[in-house]
Amino acid sequence: MADAFDEYCDLLFKAVLIGDSGVGKSNLLSRFAKDEFRLDSKPTIGVEFAYRNVKVGDKLIKAQIWDTAGQERFRAITSSYYRGALGALLVYDISRRSSYESVRKWLWELREFGNEDMVVILVGNKCDLEQSREVEKEEGKGFAETEGLCFMETSALHNVNVEDAFLQMITKIHDVTSHKSL
Ligand code: GDP
């Protein structure tokens, strides 16, 4: 079977995952790209990316999603990571307040280095950890509204809303780019 990279597509979109280390970015990506939950830790340092083909309307879109692969730990994310990216999932962990408090910093960075009309979805991951929740859903949602972002809570572990978060981003990128080319 041909993988997503080899298949024909109408459009290619680059999008990035961003957020503190340990919030679940690479597990969200492997869930979306391969529908699996990865329990092992990351073996390497360096950018990783995965592809998945998605149908939006009559267009077949190849989504190329970049993951920091641990580089955020060292603040080594460079402008090349953001270059050409049309969308971002900005992820925090609902059970770790400090990761939510970092969201402003990541947003600033996205706006500094990223595309002007980048589609940003704020994602509160690990919503399966309700008993150790440190960030209320309303709080994340309210912040997203203030900043003009979309919002979703997900669980990479239980596969809750993962598909929706990525698909929402890809559909919105498609809306923005097709509007621009009119
Ligand atoms: P990254 O550093 O942001 O890429 O985070 P990882 O994807 O490597 O995940 C960090 C840790 O959180 C790992 O131990 C994962 O098993 C765990 N994890 C990721 N997503 C979830 C989730 O939705 N729920 C729970 N309970 N744990 C998760």
pLDDT at 150 over 90: yes
Tokens of 130: 């309700």
Cα of 71 vs centre of ligand 1, distance in Å, is 16
Cα of 26 vs centre of ligand 1, distance in Å, is 7
Q: Which residue has the tokens 């041909």?
A: 2
Measured from CB, residues less than 6 Å from any atom of ligand 1 are: 21-27, 39, 42, 125-126, 128-129, 155-157
Cα of 142 vs centre of ligand 1, distance in Å, is 24
Cα of 54 vs centre of ligand 1, distance in Å, is 24
Site to substitute for ligand 1 among 17, 21, 27, most atoms within 8 A of C-beta: 27
Sorting pLDDT into bands at 50, 70 and 90, what band is 177?
confident
Supply the residue whose CA is at minimum distance from atom 17 of ligand 1: 24
Supply the residue whose CA is at minimum distance from atom 12 of ligand 1: 24
Sorting pLDDT into bands at 50, 70 and 90, what band is 4?
low
Cα of 39 vs centre of ligand 1, distance in Å, is 8
**What digits encode the pLDDT tens for the residues 110-147?**
999 888 889 999 999 999 999 999 999 999 999 999 99
Read off the amino acid at residue 58. Answer: D
pLDDT at 33 over 50: yes
**What digits encode the pLDDT tens for the residues 44-103?**
445 677 888 888 988 899 898 988 866 776 666 678 888 999 999 999 999 999 999 999
Residue 1's pLDDT is 45
pTM: 0.90
Q: Pick the residue with more confidence: 35 or 106?
A: 106
Can you tell me the mean pLDDT for 4-20? 82
Sorting pLDDT into bands at 50, 70 and 90, what band is 181?
low
